[in-house]
């Protein structure tokens, strides 16, 4: 598909990549939504918590939303997207990755950038209970990478009923994105991520004595250190590089046979040039790549009277053809 020319025009303030990222995550306000929680079992004896939002008016389909690193179903970007979709008649299922719903998961394993098997559990559950209309997937950041990976993986009958896929701010090359986040200008993001990741590992160590070595964990400053020490071995990878290589969605994009939109802002402070799959999108019959000049990481701020951000309007627009 040709590269999509973006119509997004950032407001005067906040304008830069960092400003949009922080504004959307901290300043934005989204009204409380009437979410309904459901817990489903995973094949390995764990659980996933899903939050449902009913559509306003006649239902046209169901959208499954996947959050980002150390996020959950009630982050502002998740609520904003859920509200926008429900307004247009979409039922919404916003799922929480393992350990992200406010209650620790049962097993040593948690979630990671390639955990498409858990998204598959959610999709299978929705397919089993959803009897009418199309199913769409929307993912953000880490959740966007998982969503694209899932869409590319063969052998899932459920994919035959997935009509469209949308992914925002996707670190589809995990190694380069990890290196980008280790730079000095991203130290505040890295500090925030590692603080909560370390807390989760410490909680795991208390519940699984002898399984994790916490020596020196307080001195970790990068994803390279954390993923090498914890993410990779816990989830069956040989090390951080093996984890990043096997879970990055970019090499898988040529396999996607579902209409897919990837939106990565050029000023996203989390992304590198390797995270903009121009070659893959140009050669694909299904993958559309849109690269607004502005937008930050899961930002795309706009001040429309209805309170919706541009990313939400864009997602609804792309899904409207489903």
Question: What is the set of active-site residues?
Answer: 141, 268, 297
- Which three-class secondary structure string do you get for the chain? CCCECCCCCCCCCCCCHHHHHHHHHHHCCCCCCCCEEEEEECCCCCEEEEEEECCCCCCCEEEEEECCCCCCCCCHHHHHHHHHHHHCCEEEEEEECCCCCCCCCCCCCCCCCCCHHHHHHHHHHHHHHCCCCCEEEEEECHHHHHHHHHHHCCCCHHHHHEEEEEEECCCCCHHHHHHHHCCHHHHHHHHHHHHHHHHHHHHHHHHCCCCCCCCCHHHCCCHHHHHHHHHHHHCCCCCHHHHHHHHCCHHHHHHCCCCEEEECCCCCCCCCHHHCCHHHHHHCCCEEEECCCCCCCCCCCCCCCCCCCHHHHHHHHHHCCC
Shortest CA distance to 53 belongs to which of 28, 31, 29?
Answer: 31
Alpha carbon distance 243, 247 (integer Å): 6
| Main-chain phi, psi angles of 72, to 5 degrees | -165, 180
CB within 8 Å of 179: residues ≥ 6 apart: 224, 272
Token pair for residue 107? 């097993």
């Amino acid at each position: 598909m040709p590269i999509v020319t973006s119509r997004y025009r950032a407001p005067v303030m906040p304008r830069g990549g960092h400003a949009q990222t922080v504004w959307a995550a901290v300043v934005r306000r989204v009204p409380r939504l009437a979410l309904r929680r459901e817990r489903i079992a995973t094949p390995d004896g764990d659980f996933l918590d899903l939050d449902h939002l009913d559509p306003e008016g006649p239902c046209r389909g169901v959208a499954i939303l996947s959050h980002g690193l150390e996020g959950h179903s009630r982050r502002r970007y998740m609520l904003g997207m859920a509200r926008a979709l429900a307004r247009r008649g979409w039922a919404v299922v916003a799922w929480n990755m393992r350990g992200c719903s406010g209650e620790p998961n049962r097993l040593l394993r948690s979630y990671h950038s390639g955990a498409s098997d858990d998204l598959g559990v959610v999709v299978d559950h929705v397919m089993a209970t959803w009897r009418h209309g199309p199913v769409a997937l929307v993912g953000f950041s880490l959740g966007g990478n998982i969503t694209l990976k899932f869409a590319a993986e063969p052998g899932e009958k459920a994919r035959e009923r997935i009509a469209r896929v949308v992914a925002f701010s996707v670190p589809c090359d995990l190694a380069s994105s990890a290196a980008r986040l280790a730079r000095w200008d991203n130290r505040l993001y890295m500090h925030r991520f590692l603080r909560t990741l370390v807390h989760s590992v410490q909680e795991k160590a208390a519940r699984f004595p002898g399984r994790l070595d916490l020596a020196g964990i307080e001195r970790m400053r990068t994803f390279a250190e954390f993923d090498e020490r914890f993410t990779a071995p816990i989830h069956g990878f040989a090390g951080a590089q093996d984890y990043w290589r096997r879970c990055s969605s970019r090499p898988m994009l040529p396999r996607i046979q579902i209409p897919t939109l990837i939106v990565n802002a050029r000023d996203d402070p989390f992304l590198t040039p390797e995270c903009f799959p121009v070659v893959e999108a140009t050669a694909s019959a299904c993958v559309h790549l849109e690269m607004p000049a502005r937008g930050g990481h899961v930002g795309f701020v706009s001040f429309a009277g209805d309170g919706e951000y541009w990313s939400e309007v864009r997602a609804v627009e792309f899904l409207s053809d489903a």
